[in-house]
Amino acid sequence: YNCALRRLDWQQEQGFVSSLALGYNEVEIQRGMTTSSTAIFIPFMTRELRMAGQALYYGMNALSHNVIMADRKKLKSANGMYLGSTGSGKSFAAKRELLNVFLTIPQDRIIVVDPMGEYAPLVRRLGGQVIEIAPDSPHHLNPMDVELNMAAGESPLSMKADFLLSLCELVVGGKEGLQPIEKTVIDRCVRLVYREQALGLETAKTPLLQDLYEELLRQPEPEARRVATALELYCTGSLNLFNHPTNVKTDSRVVCIVLKNMGENLRKIAMHITNEFVSQAVDQNFHEGA
């Protein structure tokens, strides 16, 4: 191994003391080494992750068996994901983090989009709001809800118009999507539907999807009738679960939206509306400084 041994005659005690991690060299023998060679003598073979402050438990270091404590909000990107094979504990780890956030960081809000309904029991035990989106569910989210009290420079109605354009594009379908005339008509109707709210009238009510449908029917363009006909199924037809006022507590600290019982015809639309709800909640929290 290109390593020559030297016997320390009558210096066994000094050699033993010098070999200890005390920083003493009693035999006056030195040797220059590269950093890679020196690293062999370092007893720590793994890096530890233990952040201060409101750090959360994320598991145990497989080599040192020390706990991993991290605060993702201090990182350059606070996003995270759980990866693993089936049955490896991804859902359990996510629920554990949810519970840790609930118990240790009271100013944080928790929103869960639950496609399989596995987080609902935990959210109920925490006193949160479980919203079950299904054709026969009594819970309703109104896709026309809008928060007008946003930061300066932002236009809530323009953002809502953009969302409703993408929603109508999902409803109308087709490879080409909405035509320019159809987009113009939808944007016009959205502004007409929200006119009273935009003016700040006390009698203004939050519109429903049916209000947009009826406004489209009043337009002279044939493209407006085409879009209205596509919306009819979701306004007055059998899939009208999104044509109701919001009747759940959406401002609860812990909210779980369950999509387990959604059929194929509604799943994409339900996911789109759910993403809009989460986006509005994030924007509102940012505006409030939360």
Judge whether 139 and 131 are in contact, CB under 8 Å: yes
For tokens 């109707």, name the residue.
189
Q: Is 168 exposed, middle or buried (0-12, 13-18, 19+ CB in 10 A)?
A: buried
Whole-angstrom CA distances from 98 to 28, 56, 106, 134, 255 are 57, 10, 12, 25, 11
Comparing 171 with 30, the larger pLDDT belongs to: 171
pLDDT-based confidence at residue 177 (cuts at 50, 70, 90): confident
- CA end-to-end span of the chain: 61
The average pLDDT across 134-154 equals: 79
The pLDDT score that the predictor gives to residue 4 is: 76
When the pLDDT of each residue in the chain is averaged and rounded to a whole number, the result is 87
Q: Please tell me the least confidently modeled range out of 66-70, 92-96, 164-168, 194-198.
A: 194-198
Evaluate if residue 88 carries a pLDDT over 80: yes
- What are the φ and ψ backbone dihedral angles of 69, each rounded to 5 degrees? -120, 125
| Lowest-confidence pick of 14-23, 28-37, 126-135 | 28-37
pLDDT at 42: 67
Query: Domain map of the chain by residue range?
Result: 86-140+247-288, 156-235
Q: CA-based Rg of the chain, rounded to a whole angstrom?
A: 30
Residue 48 dihedral angles phi and psi, to the nearest 5°: -100, 150
Once rounded to an integer, what is the mean pLDDT over residues 235-250?
90
pLDDT of residue 43: 61
Per-residue pLDDT at 152: 47
pTM: 0.77
> For residues 265 and 239, is the Cβ–Cβ distance under 8 A?
yes
More confident residue, 75 or 44: 75
pLDDT in tens, 46-71: 778 889 888 999 999 887 788 999 99
